[in-house]
Structure 1
Amino acid sequence: MTTPLKQWSEETILSMIKDKVQENLELDYKECAAIFPLTDKKKIEISKDVSAFANSAGGIIIYGVKENGHIPTEIDTGLNPNALSKERLEQIINSNIHPRINRLIIKQIELITTNPGHVLYVVSIPQATTIAPHQAADKRYYKRFNFESVAMEDYEIRDILRRTTTPDLHFHFSFGGQDTVPIQFSQDQPFSEEVDLIITVENRAEEPASYAVMEVFIDSSLKLSKSTDLKMVDNIFLTLKDDQKVAITQLSQNWAIPVKLPIFKGTNFRITDTPIKLAIPQEHADSEKVYICAWNISSPGMTNSGYFAFFLKNNCLTVAKL
């Protein structure tokens, strides 16, 4: 959802149900019975679910929506705010998770049309960075995995502890700020008209990054323009998770002060002063294609990597993380 939480209403929830917005790493639906009537067991489950979001990427839990197969189906009966108030729910979360999660927000949504006098609670949980990880009431640490809260391994707990002392760098890919762009083909040209690919780097940790080694691997069937800001190596191979090998073009850059500014939390930096120009082979016009790509970024104390893809359909190109 792109709507700010403070603007959420019953209509927002109904729209999510109508659009079948699926649960994911950052979204979970819970029925009213998950938090009321309150029992010690339910308090533990609440602490597990909320802390798991904080220890992962952050996200939202909606208490009061039924789901089937991780798809929302309907608003539940709702909760009586006199029996379980927003303040009481916040107190349960704060007293059962250690350390307390800063910047946690609970939005009370009035069920004006579906069940007047009753409410839903939307809990917005930030990713833990400066104070991490968070322990649930059963003295364990949890993370989000496959729509569930699962106990963390020792190395994962250590990785979260690292967030407080090292940078946490990630890439974002877009077409001039858009995820999708139309592709124009001319029959007398071997490639489509070029589109602007923007790559930005984000730091999710408080610790700034003064130095970083950045690598992006893009499917070699796509044509890329040369960039003075990046080192470009063509026709090397990348091994995917299923051991499949893909020919890729490697783009790399060393980020270092004082030539570059430190990468602070909350500020996205473009890794090139000008956009990278990208074009699609003419023979791919009017077809559906998936171009698997990857990235890797290292800074003192951390290494992150991931996959993303370009999806070509109806002569439109969409970029999405995998």
Structure 2
Amino acid sequence: MSESLEHWTEAQLRTLSTDEYDFQEFKASPYLGTPQGIAQNFRERMSKQISAFANGSGGRIFIGITDEAKIDGGVPVNLRGGGMRAWLEDVLPKLVTPPLRSCNIYEICSDASEDSLILPGHAIYIIDIKESSSAPHQALDLRYYLRIAGKSRPMSHVHIQDVLRRTRTAQLTCHRFSTYGKIEIDKSDSRGPVAAVGFRFHISNQSTVMAQHVGVELSIPRDLLPKKLRQQILNNSEIAYTQQPGRMLFFRYHHHPIFPGQELYVLMVYIGIHKSNLSYLKTGAAINWKIYADDAQPAEGSINPLAYSQVQQAIQIIEQHSYKNPQKNTPTK
């Protein structure tokens, strides 16, 4: 789906693709109404469209645009007292069960140019529907719909099951992975100075479902984690530690539910930068993360430490020290 726009213009409407996709539907103005009033079966037909978009990945319905993506003059803006936009905002979310939590309506009037295709006192209406975490939504005819091959079609039993699984589990993700504290220099390591950089891992619940059981896992390359820093991480008694070839895994179970929209800090880790791992760090060493939430599929991703300015500063510190104190060769006897 294309990027959401908060402000639409007639010029943008003229650039719309002539194709209808799973995320885009064109309806001519009489679909909504004529100067004589609201179309008799508008609610029933619109209910199917809203059900289909909300049960799928969301999308936009353009009213006042023909199947050929041409502006047809628009819908009269005064068909209802208080204006058509306000009326649509009140009516459309209630055309499905359960009602939509949100539905954005855009009203595009003439740009007043000589070649404007929107008639005076008329407007094009865009109904912007997001993928719904309350799906599946039932239409007024007591059926469920989905966008399939550019059309709103009745859902099969398999489709309904898929949507139910999608919306009954919490969706957690990495909200922020950021450096924390100052760079600490440890000069007691046998390999030379080690510059330690701390990171805090924050997660958030982006769904409308509360997460009851949550665990987070960070996988750090062994070469970036000297023994002292590993022990510093494990000073938190809630963190469990395992090893895999070339990597160290730190896991923490979060003991409290995470509510919809909630963001919180869950784990602190460190990496150590020294002259022996500089080349490895510069070739793309990654910290991998994984979040487990109830029965949902784990969310996972990776982070490149080089993207952080504090890591770059630590590299410079180690490089400068190595330049000032080059390793001396021991003379042979």
TM-score between both structures, scaled by the size of structure 1 = 0.53
Residue pairs, 1:90-105, within 5 angstroms: 90=89, 92-94=91-93, 96-105=95-104
2:46 aligned residue: 46
Cα offset, 1:52, TM superposition: 1.8
Matched, 1:302 2:330: no
Q: Give the 3 Å change call, closer, same or farther, for CA 171–48 of structure 1 in structure 2.
A: farther
> Given the alignment, which residue of 70, 73, 78 partners 1:74?
70
> Given the alignment, which residue of 145, 154, 159 partners 2:157?
154
Residue pairs, 1:76-225, within 5 angstroms: 76-83=72-79, 85-90=84-89, 92-94=91-93, 96-113=95-112, 114=116, 115=118, 116-129=120-133, 131-161=134-164, 165-169=168-172, 203-208=206-211, 210-212=213-215
2:29 aligned residue: 32
Cα offset, 1:154, TM superposition: 2.7
Letter of the structure 1 residue corresponding to residue 71 of structure 2: I
The DSSP-based 3-state class of the residue aligned with 1:206 is coil
Assess if the C-alpha contact under 8 Å between 1:233 and 1:251 holds in 2: yes
> Given the alignment, which residue of 252, 256, 261 partners 1:266?
261
Letter of the structure 1 residue corresponding to residue 140 of structure 2: A
Cα offset, 1:97, TM superposition: 2.0
Assess if the C-alpha contact under 8 Å between 1:215 and 1:297 holds in 2: no
Cα offset, 1:141, TM superposition: 0.9
The DSSP-based 3-state class of the residue aligned with 2:77 is coil
CA distance in 2, matches of 1:171, 1:25: 29
Letter of the structure 1 residue corresponding to residue 95 of structure 2: N
User: RMSD value over aligned CA atoms?
Assistant: 5.1
Greater fraction strand: 1
Gaps of 5+ in 1: 174-197, 217-224, 235-249, 281-294, 308-322
Deviations 1:116-147 (A, max 9, x none): 32101122334333x44221121101123333
CA distance in 2, matches of 1:232, 1:30: 58
Identity of aligned residues (%): 24
Gaps of 5+ in 2: 177-200, 234-240, 272-280, 302-333
Structure 1 range deviating more: 100-109 or 268-277? 268-277
Letter of the structure 1 residue corresponding to residue 295 of structure 2: G
TM-score between both structures, scaled by the size of structure 2 = 0.52
Assess if the C-alpha contact under 8 Å between 1:170 and 1:304 holds in 2: no
Deviations 1:72-118 (A, max 9, x none): x4333211112362344445535532232222232322223322321
The DSSP-based 3-state class of the residue aligned with 2:125 is strand
The DSSP-based 3-state class of the residue aligned with 1:65 is coil
Letter of the structure 2 residue corresponding to residue 301 of structure 1: D
CA distance in 1, matches of 2:29, 2:43: 13
Assess if the C-alpha contact under 8 Å between 2:217 and 2:290 holds in 1: yes
Larger Rg: 2
Assess if the C-alpha contact under 8 Å between 1:94 and 1:101 holds in 2: yes
